[in-house]
Amino acid sequence: MPPSQLKRLKASLREQGIVGPQKSKKEKKRSGKDGAQRAAQRNAALASIRDSFNPFEVKAAPRPDKFESTSLQKANAKKTPLGRPGVTKSMGEETRRKTLLPELNKRNKAGGIIDRRIGENDPSMSLEDKMTERFAREKTRKKGAGLFDLEDDAEEEVQLTHMGQTLDFGGEQDDFDAVSLSGGSDDEGGLRRLKRRRDSDEGTDLTDEEGEDQPERKKSKAEVMKEVIAKSKFHKYERQQQKEDDDDLREKLDQDMHDVLGLLRGVKKPPPPPTAEGLDNALGAMNPERAALMNDADKARAEKEYDRRLFEMKLDKRAAPTTRTKTGDEKAKEEAERLKKMEEKRMRRMRGEEDSSDEEEEQQKGETQLQGDEDVLPDDAVEFGLQDAHTNLRPPGVDDEDDFVIDDIVASGSEMDDAEVFSGSEVESSDDDEEPEINEEEEEDEFVRGILGKSDERQAHEAKKSLETQVSKLAYTYPCPQTHEELLDVLKDVTVTDTPTVVQRIRALYHPQLSAENKEKMADFCGVLVEHISYLAQQKPAPPLAPIETLIRHLHSLSRTFALDVAKGFRGQLEKMLSSSTINPGDLVILTAIGTIYPTSDHFHQVVTPAITIMARWLGLTTPKTPQELVTGAYVGTLCLKYQTLAKRYIPELVRFTTLALKNKSTPPDVLTAHINNLTTMADLWSNAPAFTEIFTPSTLLAVQSLGKPGKRAAQHLSILAGNARQRRRPQELHHWRPQPIKSSIPKFEEGFNPDKHYDPDQERREAAKLKAEYRREKKGAMRELRKDASFIAREKLREKKEKDAAYEAKYKRLVAEIQGEEGAEKNAYEREKKARKSGRM
């Protein structure tokens, strides 16, 4: 059975020599010489015994080293402890009592006094040390405070005295020899001052000759600083005096400022108001009632004049800020930003994305229009598959709604071929897509130029005079047609060239701003006008194109005000085309007008999308055999390409029809040229398409090459584009993997290899792992400290609760004991009195 703890403790104390038999006097005397060393050995021995008997107070390695060669310590060396948990815990507890406990006590409390006196919170300083340190700090602050102070020092500080002597370290030395001090600048200055004072007392003043013979004495540092301070004070005083003089002069000028301004403006100084005595004398001779009435009338007149001038000042707009004149660079920058925003909106519409900003703007515009006319009900076009008049049916054209004034040059009767007219209209359409906010006059000029061309402008101006006589024969008032039959009845005595003039006058007579009923009439007139341009194109013989183009221009202007009605008119004509298997000239005019009025690059449009669908259907279902089909197909193909100028969408029906037309041997030369031009335009339009090679080769390219000389240039152009498309293609191939090195059997060596350390060849991954490990370590430490803080707070709260409960229990017991004592005393008194009464009776 192993020995008990007590026996082991006694044995350890005997082995260390701490306990044992008593020593003799000689041994005690011998050991007394090295008492300090013996005391240190004794304390070390007690500490080792204490550690050995309490293993939980020392944290050591869990197991010995497996191999002695891997350890840096010797085999018989004493194991050093890795830590002392008890000491660490007590230190942490003490730290929390000093830091966390005061914060816990101050929680939910405001105010308090913080003692910042020197040494007050330092228990290592004695009372004398505190007083000495405070006194030295105070004198040091006083001594260095006014060294370079440039302020006036007329008022000297009151200094403390002791027994009539000042407590100043910088004063004169009194009770010790100054010569014994180390020579400094201040001490040397003091010696010189004493010497000069002694010389002056003895009357030993030097004469001028002796002063001239002797060299000039070098000034001390203190004298130099005094002179500098004196000069600084003097200059400061001069500046202050100059500033006060300037302020006085300025105040004097300010007092006379009103008189000077009056003289400059030529205004006489108003006479001084009459005094009360003079006023009383003037009104004294008048009836008192009349004088009071005059005073009230003057007061009312003055108030009325004040109100009138105040109202005029409110209406005066001269003080309103105006927009400043912008430079050319700023205007160019704004125009570029506007064009950029418009192009972004067009691209969003082309991709089919919703534009919330446009919807909000259109909604606000619709609300303002509805507010202007209370009788107008909101549009219900959405229920019928359309959008209302304030959505994207409105063409991006000019902003003004009152575009009445159409030049009579349009009605000059000058005819143009189809290509020129429709190219001009498509150019206008592209302008509408890109620049929707051009001024109306500029747009009219461009419109006229697009129709007539530069060569015909002079002719048109010359024909204007002759047209005036013809127009004068027309009536100035016409009824507003509600159906096409009514319009034909109105135009039965009017030539085709005068039709735009009649339409212009109808628009002027029935403008919506003239009457509330005109809005409904003009809405119906828009649909009638759409039907009429299709009717004119179908007449035999064919009318001139200029009046039809002018009517399209009228529709373009009306579509800005009556967008929904114009769109319904166009959709009605498209429905008629859908039910028919052929396309007549009227349909071609309708399709051309649609491309002119509406944006053709939108992803989906209520008018443009059905139009392009109908054209593609006709091209896909028609095989060109007759000359009429070839001509119509060439024009429809031109329209399709104009529609897709910006969007560049692929139309396979157009490629099919053009290829068949090129293979047809009976195609006229001029029509063949039109189809070749369409094919070249298609190749340029879709040159960046990934399927370019499949679209144009081999059938289309062979068809062009078979034409011979007419299609030689087109075939070369198409071959070049097809070659470029093939070069842009990248054939499929295997993945290009990074070459893998041959696995080596040579071992890798590390200079300072440590089996406990993980080695990663990737530096970034190694740094990331190191950072993660540090983060985890810090997180664990923070959580451990938080748990310790929470445990400390819980213990403190429990201790406070126990103290309060103990105090309450003691107080409760004390009160109960007092009450019980009083009750016992009263009971005893009552018993004594009771006994006394009984004994008295007996």
Instruction: Report the range of poorest mean pLDDT among 66-80, 137-151, 422-436.
Output: 422-436
Q: pLDDT tens digits, residue range 345-370?
A: 888 888 777 665 555 555 555 544 44
According to CATH, the topology of domain 391-727 is Leucine-rich Repeat Variant (1.25.10)
Of 59, 54, 62, the C-alpha closest to 84 is: 59
For a pLDDT cut of 70, what percent of the chain falls above it?
Answer: 69
Contact yes or no for 501/471 (Cβ under 8 A): yes
pLDDT for the residue numbered 286:
55
DSSP state of 757: S
598 has pLDDT over 90 = yes
Residue 322 has pLDDT above 80, yes or no: no
Give the span between the Cα atoms of 501 and 258, in whole angstroms: 69
Distances (CA, A) of 639 to 570, 594, 652: 16, 10, 15
State the DSSP H helix or E strand holding residue 161, giving kind and residue range, or none if neither.
strand 161-162
Identify whether the C-beta of residue 591 lies closer than 8 Å to the C-beta of residue 639: yes
Q: How confident is the model at residue 622 (pLDDT cuts 50, 70, 90)?
A: very high
If you write DSSP's letter for every residue of 306-350 in order, what string do you get?
HHHHHHHHHH--TTS--PPPPPHHHHHHHHHHHHHHHHHHHHHHH
Q: Where are the domains of the chain?
A: 391-727, 802-842
Decide: helix, strand or coil at residue 688.
coil
**Residue 525 CB neighbour total at 10 angstroms:** 26
pTM across the whole model: 0.43
Please, what is the Cα angle at 475 between 469 and 478, to 5 degrees?
150
Classify residue 423 as exposed, middle or buried by CB count within 10 Å of its CB (0-12, 13-18, 19+): middle
pLDDT digits (tens, 9 = 90+) for 42-72: 888 888 888 777 777 777 776 666 666 655 5
- DSSP 8-state class, residue 182: -
For residue 453, what are its two tokens?
């061309």
What is the pLDDT averaged over residues 321-335?
80
Place of tokens 């005391």: 39
Q: Cβ-count burial of 748 within 10 angstroms (0-12 exposed, 13-18 middle, 19+ buried)?
A: exposed
Amino acid 516: pLDDT? 86
Q: Six-digit token pair at 522? A: 């003009």
Q: Which residues pair with 83 in a beta bridge?
A: 59
* Strand (E) or helix (H) holding 165: strand 165-166
Provide the pLDDT for residue 311: 80
**Alpha-carbon span 244 to 293, nearest angstrom:** 54
Q: Among 268-272, 635-639, 822-826, name the one with the lowest average pLDDT.
A: 268-272
Amino acid identity, position 467: L
Give the C-alpha separation, 126 to 120, whole Å.
10
Q: Which pLDDT tens digit goes with each residue over 192-251?
A: 554 455 454 444 444 444 444 555 677 888 888 888 999 999 999 999 999 999 998 888
